[in-house]
Amino acid sequence: MKTRFAPSPTGHLHIGGARTALFNFLLSRNAGGEFVLRIEDTDAARSEAAYTEDILRALDWLGIVHDGEPVFQSRRAEIHRELTERMLAAGKAYHCHCSQERIDEIRKSALERKEKPRYDGKCRNLGLPAAPGSVVRFKSPETGETFWNDLIKGPVSFANEELDDLVMVRADGLPTYNWAAVADDHSMGITHVVRGDDHVNNTPRQILLYEALDAPIPAFGHVPMILGGDKKRLSKRHGATSVMAYEEAGYLPEALANYLARLGWSSGDREIFSMDEMIKLFSLSSVGKSAAIFDKDKLDWLNSHYIKESSPSRLASLLLPRFEEKGYANPGEKVLEEIVLTVRERGKTLAEMARKADFYFRKTLTLNPGDAKKLLTPEGKDILRSFVEPLRNAAPSDEDFNRLLETLAASRGVGKGAVAQPLRLALTGETASPGLSDIGRILGPEVVTQRINAALEHEA
- Contact residues: ligand GLU, CB under 6 A: 6-8, 40, 181, 195, 199
What angle (nearest 5°) sits at the alpha carbon of residue 255, between those of residues 252 and 269?
170
Question: Buried b / exposed e across 290-321, counting CB within 10 Å, b at 16+?
Answer: ebbebeeeebbebbbbbbeebebeebbebbbe
Nearer to ligand GLU, 3 or 303 (CB): 3
Q: How far is the CB of 73 from ligand GLU (least distance, A)?
A: 8
Q: How far is the CB of 192 from ligand GLU (least distance, A)?
A: 11
Taking the C-alpha atoms of residue 170 and residue 27, their distance in angstroms, rounded to an integer, is 34
Cβ–Cβ under 8 Å, residues 164 and 103: no
Nearer to ligand GLU, 185 or 438 (CB): 185
Taking the C-alpha atoms of residue 165 and residue 163, their distance in angstroms, rounded to an integer, is 7
Q: How far is the CB of 274 from ligand GLU (least distance, A)?
A: 27
The 10 Å Cβ neighbour count of residue 89 is 9
Question: Buried b / exposed e across 430-447, counting CB within 10 Å, b at 16+?
Answer: eeebbebbbbbbbbeeee
Give the residue nearest to ligand GLU (CB): 195
Q: How far is CA 92 from the centre of its chain?
A: 41
Q: Assign residue 245 a region: left if phi > 0, alpha if psi is -120 to 50, beta otherwise?
A: alpha
Q: How far is the CB of 1 from ligand GLU (least distance, A)?
A: 16
Nearer to ligand GLU, 168 or 181 (CB): 181
Sign of the CA dihedral running 99, 101, 106, 111: positive
Nearer to ligand GLU, 195 or 262 (CB): 195
Q: For residue 38, give the nearest of 16, 83, 69, 64 by alpha carbon.
A: 69
Catalytic residue check, 326: no
Nearer to ligand GLU, 34 or 438 (CB): 34
Cα distances from 207 to residues 41, 93, 204, 216, in angstroms, run 22, 15, 5, 9
Residues in contact with 25: Cβ distance below 8 Å, sequence separation at least 6, in sequence order: 3, 5, 35, 64, 65, 66
Q: How far is CA 95 from the centre of its chain?
A: 42
What angle (nearest 5°) sits at the alpha carbon of residue 380, between those of residues 375 and 385?
130
Q: How far is the CB of 432 from ligand GLU (least distance, A)?
A: 45
Nearer to ligand GLU, 40 or 358 (CB): 40
Cα distances from 81 to residues 180, 203, 209, 212, in angstroms, run 10, 22, 15, 16
Nearer to ligand GLU, 10 or 266 (CB): 10
Nearer to ligand GLU, 40 or 164 (CB): 40
Phi, psi of 281 (to 5 degrees): -95, -15
Residues facing 38 on adjacent strands: 71
Q: Check 232, 236, 363, 416 and give the catalytic one.
A: 236
Taking the C-alpha atoms of residue 59 and residue 199, their distance in angstroms, rounded to an integer, is 22
Q: How far is the CB of 212 from ligand GLU (least distance, A)?
A: 18
Nearer to ligand GLU, 23 or 273 (CB): 23
Residues in contact with 60: Cβ distance below 8 Å, sequence separation at least 6, in sequence order: none
Residues forming the active site: 236
